[in-house]
Amino acid sequence: MSDQAVLDAASYVLQKFEEPISTMKLQKLVFLSHAWHLAFTDEPLVSEAFEAWRYGPVSRSLYRQHRQEREVNAIDAGDPTRLSAKGKIIVDAVVKNYGALGGIDLSDLTHKAGSPWHTVRIRNNLSRDDSSRELIPDDLIKEYYKKELQL
């Protein structure tokens, strides 16, 4: 089952770039948009849970849309006009603050000790290199990013 909101958010992110971006970068920017949306509004940007994959948080629905690609400039199934006004403001801020970083840099950012990805991996006794489909709970994401706001 697909989460349409994650595809809409991804389409909105992609509109912010003139050139294609790596699929890893897209995944992380959508995750960070979701995370900051939770922190600022106490509401999720997307309803699908992100999974704690080896290279960071991943949306399975979004992955299905780009799995054959290394770079992407559009998600055909996404409609950026469906994103809420609050969602657009937060995605704009995420792209402004993180958009210059590459996929690996964004992945490293999501791997920080204590991050939701890291916490799920530790709780499930997974090494950095283990494959995983463990879900990253929204309450864990919200708690972490709310604390980041206070730093």
Task: Please tell me the total count of domains within the chain.
Answer: 1
Residues of the chain with pLDDT under 70: 1-2, 151
Q: Which domain holds residue 79?
A: 4-149
Return the pLDDT at 2.
55
pTM of the model: 0.96
Tell me which residue of 70, 62, 69 sits closest to 13, measured CA to CA.
62
| Cα–Cα distance list, 68 to 55, 106, 128, 143, 144 (Å) | 17, 21, 24, 34, 32
pLDDT in tens, 117-134: 999 999 999 987 899 999
